[in-house]
A and B are shown apart, each in its own frame.
Chain A
């Protein structure tokens, strides 16, 4: 006598669902109503999701692990929308193509995104939004997401909302409120990547922490593939301006992170605190790398619990201490240059001396934050070896374009 799936113990069925990947979960959900409820009762973690909208094209990229992703790109065609779909591969021969009658690629892609991920059982580590900067574009995207505001159950459970470069500048809070379950949201981040033609890995990052919003952290993160003294100068100039312009109710904290090339496993732990007149510079060197916090002296006491609990300040750049997926993801950001040059919103390819990074008016950041040449050289800490910070020509072939 055959045994039916529904007759099996619920703990078994849930255990099976726990082992399924995202698409298999989706397939199982589609088999019956009871399986839909079953799948929705098992939490599934997605470390990162990307959504992009540019020139009428849309991108959904769902990462379920290192080197594991589902990618869908939507573009208009004469009969509707063409969907290019691939899984964990950039091989063109493994990209399948389908057409859909819908002529609205944005509506179609957001519907699919919601269908797949807007559920209480799906916990998204980070949703990264990329958008071209055009008049009305932001409102158009928010409008398609907006039905989510009607019921809380159809919002996304997102821990971190990431904006690429200038995407959604000035309306971060609005989109966060529209699409995120606020109790899950830990913070928001704006990232850009300063690319290099000579390296593929990220070696430095400039982290600027802004005033928290409703308990959600606000971070500006500039990732850098270059090893150029100008980036260091840019950071300290920007930090200096930030400390000068900060209001009384703020306690700004900027961090410059630098990984060692080549690695220095024998590097001894070293800490140094320097008073730079306008700000305090707290530099730590460890085998992982080195990082420098810049802050006003008056804010130091308030940040002390954070400093004392900080074991490694390298963030995404630490191969040892950071989450393996986060490390892999950020180290491979530059691969977009090769695999998907159309989705270039994250790049800040402008020369350093033209770097302008807008965080949006709502965050009260002086803008544009422009790199200033010449006189700012004296802002570089005395202990920074300028020559050592120059890009090394000893680049392995593997890392070259």
Chain B
């Protein structure tokens, strides 16, 4: 087990290195004149030159990259070029906000998606068709449209929730709920659709297996067959989908956070990428890639937990 984790972590480090190198290269190629971008229309050309020199933008690509890498390895990601805030501080103060959204979404998705999938698989008929249609819809409608609809209905017209902003859970739990409920629903609908469809399909497939018939013939109750045996087998693929969803949700959160003006990673991700704020973008790339690596390791361990065949000895 420990060996497995170590191997995975090593692979993760290599992945991080590859991803950050590629990201740095892409940023370098697409950056344009960042110093002018930072200073705006009022600055003179001399000021722009000075800033280029100060930020090391006149250095060759490799010098700059290794400079960044040397800092990054020691945990020094520098400071944002546009707000002067240290990158680590910028990310840590916002990561928890985004993660609370994403984890809330994943939890909601796992519960509602599984329930819907199982229900459809068991009832079949009209219930099944309804779930299928709803999941296609949920899949097809982009999260940001759902977000805009939710804000208009529940925040602006019914005034049940706050239209924008974020209240930390420590300040007020109800305040926190009033700010995260709509974003989580907006994010979850697409994910629930995917999970429900996946669970439904796997449960139906598993129910057709010979061993299920054997279990039934031994007199096990239908509930016991379903929850103890079938769902466990069907859970593997669903978990894999959920893992992919988690990563996708980090991207989805970027847009939803913009719409709700939530101070998570989303606003700085879009701003820093658009502006060419290389230190901040690189910090975000590393953190996101690390998250992906960690989530995948966790999912694989969970997978073994559900399915002894996949268990790592």
- Same complex: no
